[in-house]
Structure 1
Amino acid sequence: MPFHAALVKIITILSLMILISGCGSMPKPVRNLGKSDVDFVMDVHAKQLKAQMVELTRKLYVRNPIQLAKNPTATIDSRIAQIFGPEDTISLPPLVFDELNGVTGIDAILLSFEEAFEGDRVFAAVVGLSEMLRRSYNHQQEFFIIDSLDEQALYNSARNIEIFVWRLYHRKGDNGNPLIYTNDTTEYGGDISFDRLFTKMVMIQDMMALIVADKTNRGITKVAHGVAQFVFLPVP
């Protein structure tokens, strides 16, 4: 491509990016002009992850109606809207709520498993997990040529989902009951749909980490640890 044509193309793309950053309401076909193939892949993965999180929220509230009842004005749909926001925005704000004393991310997850916590444990857990995952996507729902993700943050978030699941399944109150109920199983089988849901989420994050690492030609520092070492990893 001649230098002049290449320069015009670069200027056009940069101008488009400036417009996009200031106007999330721009028609999608126009926004798509500022995307690479990898950006489209990022969009799909982020959308799928959000859909899995919405399904997880709904399932947790169905299994834990007592948690929803702690806020008399709340419904499952209103909680989902409160946490996940609109579909058509390019970026999302950090999840911070007075109801959780302003804690979010991993701190909100930890709060949901505190025995003394009297609030909505499902809300705290989902807010914490969602914020942690949002950070791995730079709080974006849509991606463009100028955007870049951190492969290590994506990898760490996948491991944090696994740590979250372990705590979810093993943290119990003084009465011996789970702090947050999940799979309804017996010795004869039962519902293990939570397992399938979490597996999909981990796969999405691991795949995104590999895609970004390949794009940036950077390596991922992998962490090996056992259950006794289950400490949440940083996701800046």
Structure 2
Amino acid sequence: MQMLRFTLPLLAGLLLTACSSEPIKKPVKGENFNSAELGQTASNRMANLAMRDNLASLQTLLDKLYRRNPSQWRNGGHDSRETAVHQIMQAIRLNQPLPQLGKVRSTAALTTAFDPQFTGDRAGTLVFGLGSMLVDVYGGRTELYLVHGLNAQQLENAAYNVEVAAWLLGQRKNADGSLMLLANEISPQQRNLSFEREMSKIMARLELLAEVSDEKVRRSAIDFGQSLLAAPLLQFIPVQAATSAVPAP
């Protein structure tokens, strides 16, 4: 897969370039144990963490778009920016339709968001399209378990669609020449690439998942072979050795 070699350097470059806000060092902190994890493989867990972070990136992206384009959440009939973000992200997480879009979702919603004739909430439609597309790739869910798997080509296609959406976000214009959605900005006064950065994160995660999913069968065979090779090295420990290690009272 070719896109990964371009996406990861792009992501690294964006993280090093000046943005509207300074980079924040984030500590690594795993989630607390959940009994549901007993029904997940290592690859399931990796995919679930990727979905969690992709949804967080989409929420950040949506909030940023609404801040730069406040008319958009009003076009969607919402009372506030916060209400709009909550409703759209909730619809994505629960795999539900948006009332204002009807049955339109996934790539159809992405097309609608950049349709010159569309007069609704472009920002919300764009993010809902991206989010519902990711949920579709996961089989209509946001968490995977033992019986679930991912299709490498579908992940690759999703990463490509995110890249196309990122390009359109900076290129598609209205009839008067103005951008349909204000996002990235490079000017003498400001250099803001935070929108591109969030979308690049999503692309990178999808690309990595595609690579891992493509190797899943081969890795399973290798793991099985390694377990056979390691079996002769296993030895019983003499009982005396175990008891002697216990300190005297």
TM interval, shorter chain, is 0.7 to 0.9
Deviations 1:94-146 (A, max 9, x none): 34233124311111111111112111111111111111111112222222111
TM-score, normalised via structure 1 length: 0.73
Deviation (angstroms), 1:154:
0.5
Deviation (angstroms), 1:72:
4.8
Match of 1:41 in 2: 46
Deviations 1:131-180 (A, max 9, x none): 11111122222221111111111110000001111111110011110011
What stretches of structure 1 of length at least 5 have no aligned partner?
Answer: 1-26, 219-236
Partners of 1:188 and 1:76 lie apart in 2 by: 26
Match of 1:102 in 2: 103
Q: In percent, how many aligned pairs have the same letter? A: 26
| 1:149 aligned partner, one-letter code | L
Question: In 2 relative to 1, CA 190–29 (structure 1 residues): closer, same or farther, beyond 3 Å?
Answer: closer
**What aligned pairs does 1:84-233 form with structure 2 within 5 A after superposition?**
84-85=89-90, 92-187=93-188, 189-217=190-218
| 1:66 aligned partner, one-letter code | S
Deviation (angstroms), 1:216:
3.3
Match of 1:61 in 2: 66
| 2:56 aligned partner, one-letter code | A
CA contact (8 A) 2:138 2:144 kept: no
CA contact (8 A) 1:154 1:205 kept: yes
Look at both structures and tell me which one has the larger radius of gyration over its CA atoms. Answer: 2
Q: CA RMSD in A?
A: 2.3
| 2:98 aligned partner, one-letter code | F
Match of 1:224 in 2: none
Runs of 4+ aligned residues of structure 1 deviating over 4 Å after TM superposition are none
| 2:139 aligned partner, one-letter code | N
**Higher relative contact order structure (alpha carbons within 8 Å, sequence separation ≥ 6):** 2
What stretches of structure 2 of length at least 5 have no aligned partner?
Answer: 1-31, 220-249
Q: Decide which moves more: 203-212 or 112-121.
A: 112-121
Partners of 1:139 and 1:32 lie apart in 2 by: 19
Deviation (angstroms), 1:76:
2.4
TM-score, normalised via structure 2 length: 0.69
